[in-house]
Structure 1
Amino acid sequence: MFRKKGTLIICGTFLLITWNAILLLLLWGRPPSKPGQDQREVATRPTNNVLGDVLEIAKTFEAELEMQKKILLEIQNHKSLWKQTNRERPKVVVPTQPVIPILVIACNRVTVRRCLDKLLQFRPSAELYPIIVSQDCGHAETAEVIRSYGNQVTHLQQPDLSAIAVKPQHKKFQGYYKISRHYHWALNQVFKNLSHSSVVIVEDDLEVAPDFFEYFRSLLPLLKSDPTLWCASAWNDNGRDGFVDPAKANLLYRSDFFPGLGWMLLKELWEELEPKWPAAFWDDWMREPEQRRNRACIRPEISRTLTFGRQGVSLGQFYDKYLRYIKLNTEFVPFTKLDLSYLKEETYIKDLEKEVYGAPVVTYEDITGGQLNGPGPFRLQYSSKDSFKLLARNLAIMDDFKSGVPRTGYRGVVSFFSRGRRIYLAPPPGWTQYDTTWS
Structure 2
Amino acid sequence: MLRKRGLFRTFLLVTCVAILVLLFWGIAVGGRPGQTDREQQRGQLDETPSVRDVVADILRSADTFERELDLQRKIIQRIQTHLPRLKVLAGRTGQRSVPRPDVIPILVIACNRVTVKRCLDALLQYRPSAELNPIIVSQDCGHAETAKVIASYGDQVTFLKHPDLTDVAMEPQHGTFFQGYYKLARHYRWALNQVFKTLSHSSVVIVEDDLEVAPDFFEYFQALHPILKSDPSLWCVSAWNDNGMHGFVDAAKAELLHRSDFFPGLGWMMLRELWDEVEPKWPTAFWDDWMRRPEQRRDRACIRPEISRTFTFGEYGVSQGEFYHKYLRHMKLNSRYVPFTKLDHSYLKERYGDEFKNKVYSAPVVSYEEVKQGKLSGSGPFRLQYSNMDSFMGLAQNLGIMDDLKYGVPRAAYRGVVTFMSRGKRIYLAPPLGWTGYDSSQG
Shorter chain as denominator, the TM-score bin is 0.7 to 0.9
Residue in structure 2 matched with residue 210 of structure 1 by the alignment: 215
Following superposition, the deviation at residue 386 of structure 1 comes to 1.1
Q: Deviations over 1:15-49 (max 9, x none)?
A: xxxxxxxxxxxxxxxxxxxxxxxxxxxxxxxx965
The DSSP-based 3-state class of the residue aligned with 1:393 is helix
1:337 to 342, 350, 373: 342
Following superposition, the deviation at residue 158 of structure 1 comes to 0.5
Amino acid in the other structure paired with 1:213: F
Q: Deviations over 1:329-376 (max 9, x none)?
A: 000011111110000122x12221221111111111111223211111
CA distance in 2, matches of 1:430, 1:50: 108
1:350 to 354, 359, 383: 354
CA distance in 1, matches of 2:167, 2:245: 37
1:108 to 92, 96, 112: 112
1:405 equivalenced with 2:409 (yes/no): yes
Amino acid in the other structure paired with 1:321: K
Residue in structure 2 matched with residue 245 of structure 1 by the alignment: 250
1:162 equivalenced with 2:148 (yes/no): no
Instruction: After TM superposition, list the pairs within 5 Å mapping 1:300-339 onto structure 2.
Output: 300-339=305-344
CA distance in 2, matches of 1:267, 1:168: 33
**Retained in 1: the 8 A contact 2:109–2:208?**
yes
Following superposition, the deviation at residue 437 of structure 1 comes to 2.2
Output the TM-score relative to the length of structure 1.
Answer: 0.79
Instruction: After TM superposition, list the pairs within 5 Å mapping 1:12-27 onto structure 2.
Output: none
Q: Structure 1 residues 429, 145: CA separation in 2 closer, same or farther (over 3 Å shift)?
A: same
Amino acid in the other structure paired with 2:371: I
Residue in structure 2 matched with residue 360 of structure 1 by the alignment: 364
1:226 equivalenced with 2:231 (yes/no): yes
Following superposition, the deviation at residue 166 of structure 1 comes to 1.3
The DSSP-based 3-state class of the residue aligned with 2:173 is helix
Q: Structure 1 residues 383, 141: CA separation in 2 closer, same or farther (over 3 Å shift)?
A: same
Instruction: After TM superposition, list the pairs within 5 Å mapping 1:51-70 onto structure 2.
Output: none
CA distance in 1, matches of 2:150, 2:227: 33
Amino acid in the other structure paired with 2:413: G
Amino acid in the other structure paired with 2:440: T
Instruction: After TM superposition, list the pairs within 5 Å mapping 1:2-81 onto structure 2.
Output: 49=47
Q: Structure 1 residues 48, 316: CA separation in 2 closer, same or farther (over 3 Å shift)?
A: farther
CA distance in 2, matches of 1:51, 1:275: 92
CA distance in 2, matches of 1:229, 1:371: 37
1:281 to 255, 274, 286: 286
Residue in structure 2 matched with residue 418 of structure 1 by the alignment: 422
1:433 to 422, 433, 437: 437
1:266 equivalenced with 2:271 (yes/no): yes
Residue in structure 2 matched with residue 17 of structure 1 by the alignment: none
CA distance in 2, matches of 1:310, 1:221: 34
Following superposition, the deviation at residue 294 of structure 1 comes to 0.1
The DSSP-based 3-state class of the residue aligned with 2:174 is helix
Amino acid in the other structure paired with 2:290: W
Output the TM-score relative to the length of structure 2.
Answer: 0.78
**Structure 1: tracts of 5 or more residues without a match:** 1-46, 59-94
CA distance in 2, matches of 1:96, 1:233: 23
Residue in structure 2 matched with residue 177 of structure 1 by the alignment: 182
CA distance in 1, matches of 2:297, 2:289: 11
CA distance in 2, matches of 1:196, 1:307: 26
**Structure 2: tracts of 5 or more residues without a match:** 1-44, 58-98
In the TM superposition, structure 1's runs of 4+ consecutive aligned residues that sit over 3 Å from their partners are: 47-55
CA distance in 1, matches of 2:207, 2:374: 40
Q: Structure 1 residues 51, 151: CA separation in 2 closer, same or farther (over 3 Å shift)?
A: farther
Following superposition, the deviation at residue 438 of structure 1 comes to 2.0
Following superposition, the deviation at residue 123 of structure 1 comes to 0.3
Residue in structure 1 matched with residue 399 of structure 2 by the alignment: 395
Q: Structure 1 residues 130, 50: CA separation in 2 closer, same or farther (over 3 Å shift)?
A: farther
2:192 to 187, 195, 199: 187
Following superposition, the deviation at residue 413 of structure 1 comes to 0.2
**Retained in 1: the 8 A contact 2:101–2:222?**
no
Q: Structure 1 residues 373, 269: CA separation in 2 closer, same or farther (over 3 Å shift)?
A: same
Amino acid in the other structure paired with 1:188: N
**Retained in 1: the 8 A contact 2:228–2:234?**
yes
Amino acid in the other structure paired with 1:147: A
Amino acid in the other structure paired with 1:381: Q
CA distance in 2, matches of 1:200, 1:422: 30
CA distance in 1, matches of 2:172, 2:329: 33
State the identity as a percent: 72
Following superposition, the deviation at residue 168 of structure 1 comes to 3.8
**Retained in 1: the 8 A contact 2:260–2:303?**
yes
CA distance in 2, matches of 1:291, 1:423: 30
CA distance in 1, matches of 2:267, 2:151: 23
Following superposition, the deviation at residue 169 of structure 1 comes to 2.7
Residue in structure 1 matched with residue 84 of structure 2 by the alignment: none
